[in-house]
Chain A
Amino acid sequence: MPDLTYTELLYLACGAFLLTGVMVLWRRDLRAVIRLFALQGLALAAVIGVLAAHQGDLELALVGIGVGALRAGLLPYLMARALAAGGEDRETRPLVNVSASLVVAAALAMLAYAISRPLTELAPSPATRAVPVALTVLLVGFFVLVTRRRALSQVVGFLLMDNAITATAFLTTSGVPLVVELGVSLDVLLAILVLYVLTNRIRASFGGTDLDELRELHD
């Protein structure tokens, strides 16, 4: 692949990755949030695919397909099922309102850029220059995890962080071994399954998944 096209395609995929991550903060509709998460999974798979095509690495391409299938297919499917089982499909009142959280996301992007500059300067290449994008999504994911009330929004926040960590790993190294990626992905899948069961149990016991109302102990 010629170098110029490689850089353009890589940055386009990174831009889509960043945009879907930030849009999660914007939307209140949990269905739309899950759709955005699936799109982000596709963007992540595209990042890995472009890297694989550039390095001519078949194993990396397989990892990319696996990551795409898990994060754009299976996990959104599980979350959509969890959402369909319960009635509440809107993030009605997040702890920080939407306009303020969008401005916070802008500040987080600046922070990610500032802290990742030393990392980029270690080995400047098109891939490492995109590391701030992954770190921005990491911080945004953490912000979603902290400020949203619904259990499903918090799961999405957790998964955004995981997507960002995966993206950072692939952008900074020249490829993560298949075994390592498989282990991480299975861990995430297990965590989601546990959270899925837990969300269902919370709803069955308390009738809602607003985690802030679970402060007091019940008999």
Chain B
Amino acid sequence: MTGVAGVVLQVLLVAVGSPLLVGVMRQVRARLEGRAGAGLWQPWRDLRKLMRKQAITPAGTGWVFRAAPMVLAGTALVVAAVVPLVTTESPLDGVADLFAVTALLALGSVALALAGLDTGTAFGGMGASREVTVLALVEPTILVSVFALSIPAGSTNLGELVAAAEANWLSLLSPVTLLAAVALAIVSIAESGRIPVDNPATHLELTMIHEAMILEYAGPDLALIEWASAMRLTLLLGLLAGLFAPWGIATAGAGALGLLVAAIVVVVKVTVLGVALAAGEVFMAKLRLFRIPELLAGSFLMALLAVAASYFLV
């Protein structure tokens, strides 16, 4: 019963809290740059404004364009129900595989890339091509580092990974976990389109990746995409926090109080990660597009070393 309650709680937390996380990150960035900032609720205000507008699609686009926002938001919500943010006892535990989560997130990216191609504009195609390039470099790293994490725990099931790490926190200090953590952190930044891989605030044709694909969207569709992007960022940060700092997540047999504590802890952890990411972005410039493979090759190397280390350092 606590499992179902926990899942409902974490889906609600992600759905309501992710635009707030984006607001916090923008506010931190603004303050560090000496601006006043728009306030924490600005992303929600933007979404409300967009939702009230009329839904229009460009002439010549088909069902792929119209379905993409729904697919993106839908996959993000399913992942929110599966990932152990608040509880490890999800009723969907049987399919809560890290491979499945990766595949769901990739499905959303691919839907958006296809929508970018469907518009037939130069920017859409360019953005889609870049997104798929990054995705193709990100996927092997995720799979290999998941493999490294799953060797000590003996399972790729997310709930079991988190529960095992929570039971034996000394194992978090092993080189395997640290290397996999660095690899997954780099890949998460790439996947959520933050600096140094992509700049979420730019609309400059030479540099944009994510924004180029959604340039043709307007109104409620754009609101859906912005909301889903915020949820994906929140989920990736929550997943990192859950895998490498699993304290406080409710395991089997935790009561209502345990769930409440877990919810507060996950909010704190994700906010701390988000603030750290936003503060780091102030001091960093976006990488040139042709330097991105270097960064991702480095993260792939770390993931591979994590697998190698999990074999010889046992």
A: which residues have CB within 8 A of B? 4-5, 8, 11-12, 14-16, 18-19, 22, 26, 98-99, 102-103, 105-106, 109-110, 113, 120, 129-130, 132-133
Whether, in the assembled complex, B305 has its beta carbon less than 8 Å from a beta carbon of chain A, the answer is: yes
What's the least CB distance linking B174 to chain A, in Å?
6
Residues of B within 8 A of A4 (CB): 170
**A102 and B308 in contact (CB under 8 A), knowing A4-B170, A11-B174, A12-B174?**
no
What's the least CB distance linking B173 to chain A, in Å?
6
Residues of A within 8 A of B300 (CB): 102-103, 106
Residues of A within 8 A of B136 (CB): none
Interface contact B312-A102, CB-CB below 8 Å = no
Residues of B within 8 A of A102 (CB): 294, 297-298, 300-301
Interface contact B305-A99, CB-CB below 8 Å = no
Interface contact B175-A18, CB-CB below 8 Å = yes
Bound Cα distance from A98 to B294, whole angstroms: 6
**Sample (27) of A-B pairs whose CB atoms are under 8 Å apart:** A11-B175, A12-B173, A12-B174, A12-B175, A12-B178, A15-B174, A15-B309, A18-B175, A18-B305, A19-B175, A19-B302, A22-B302, A26-B294, A26-B298, A99-B293, A99-B294, A99-B297, A102-B300, A103-B297, A109-B305, A110-B308, A113-B311, A129-B312, A129-B314, A130-B312, A132-B308, A132-B312
Choose from A8, A106, A120, A129 the contact partner of B305 (Cβ within 8 Å). Answer: A106
What's the least CB distance linking B314 to chain A, in Å?
7
Residues of A within 8 A of B179 (CB): 15, 19
What's the least CB distance linking A67 to chain B, in Å?
21
Bound Cα distance from A212 to B178, whole angstroms: 38
What's the least CB distance linking A4 to chain B, in Å?
7
B: which residues have CB within 8 A of A? 170, 173-175, 178-179, 293-294, 297-298, 300-302, 304-305, 308-309, 311-314
Q: Is the interface of B mostly helix, strand, loop or mixed?
A: helix
What's the least CB distance linking B313 to chain A, in Å?
5
Closest partner residue, chain A, to B177 (CB atom): A15
Bound Cα distance from A113 to B300, whole angstroms: 18
What's the least CB distance linking B295 to chain A, in Å?
9
Residues of A within 8 A of B173 (CB): 8, 12
Count contacts between A and B, CB distance < 8 Å. 71
**A113 and B308 in contact (CB under 8 A), knowing A8-B173, A99-B293, A99-B294?**
yes
Bound Cα distance from A15 to B172, whole angstroms: 13
Residues of A within 8 A of B297 (CB): 98-99, 102-103
Bound Cα distance from A14 to B313, whole angstroms: 10
Bound Cα distance from A130 to B297, whole angstroms: 24
What's the least CB distance linking B9 to chain A, in Å?
35
Residues of B within 8 A of A113 (CB): 308, 311-312
Choose from B178, B294, B313 the contact partner of A130 (Cβ within 8 Å). Answer: B313
Interface contact A8-B170, CB-CB below 8 Å = yes
Residues of A within 8 A of B314 (CB): 129
Interface contact A15-B175, CB-CB below 8 Å = yes
Bound Cα distance from A161 to B301, whole angstroms: 20
Closest partner residue, chain A, to B175 (CB atom): A15
Bound Cα distance from A67 to B37, whole angstroms: 51
- Residue among A4, A15, A16 having the largest count of chain B Cβ atoms under 10 Å: A15
Bound Cα distance from A120 to B312, whole angstroms: 9
What's the least CB distance linking B33 to chain A, in Å?
25
Residues of B within 8 A of A15 (CB): 174-175, 178-179, 309, 313
What's the least CB distance linking B139 to chain A, in Å?
16
Interface contact B301-A106, CB-CB below 8 Å = yes
Bound Cα distance from A120 to B313, whole angstroms: 11
**A106 and B175 in contact (CB under 8 A), knowing A4-B170, A98-B294, A132-B312?**
no
- Residue among B170, B173, B298, B301 having the largest count of chain A Cβ atoms under 10 Å: B301
What's the least CB distance linking B303 to chain A, in Å?
9
Residues of A within 8 A of B312 (CB): 113, 120, 129-130, 132-133
What's the least CB distance linking B280 to chain A, in Å?
17
Bound Cα distance from A8 to B312, whole angstroms: 13
Closest partner residue, chain A, to B313 (CB atom): A11
Residues of B within 8 A of A132 (CB): 308, 312
Bound Cα distance from A106 to B173, whole angstroms: 22
Choose from B174, B308, B311 the contact partner of A8 (Cβ within 8 Å). Answer: B174
**Top 4 closest A-B pairs, CB basis?**
A15-B175, A99-B297, A102-B297, A106-B304
What's the least CB distance linking B156 to chain A, in Å?
22
